[in-house]
Amino acid sequence: MSNDENTQHYARWRNSEVSRNFHRLGLLVAAIILTAGLLLMAKDALGLRLWDLLPADIPILARGIAIGLTGIGLVSLAAYGIVRGIGWAIDKSV
């Protein structure tokens, strides 16, 4: 199999309607997960009593926020990858 044949197959897969639709679906799923995670973090932040915080608690709070945002981002990215993988498998089987 020559390199030209690989390029043609790759171009066909990248331009397929299935690939495009699963890309959009993956973005939608990732956006829903990201929005839900941010809403849960905002709900939790509303219950926080800021006047009870000590200056020593601020780095701990910042670290918790950073870990939460990183976790939400990684879960969103994983969900996008899973949806794209399913789309790739379906496109290969058709």
On the CB side of 20, CA atoms within 13 Å amount to: 5
- One DSSP character per residue, 21-50 reads HHHHHHHHHHHHHHHHHHHHHHHHHHT--G
To the question of pTM greater than 0.85 for the whole model, the response is no
pLDDT in tens, 12-71: 555 678 788 888 999 999 999 999 999 999 998 888 887 787 888 889 989 999 999 999
According to the model, what pLDDT value does residue 14 have? 58
* 3 class by beta-carbon count within 10 Å (0-12 exposed, 13-18 middle, 19+ buried): exposed
Question: Can you tell me the distance from the alpha carbon of 39 to that of 51, in angstroms, rounded to the nearest whole number?
Answer: 22
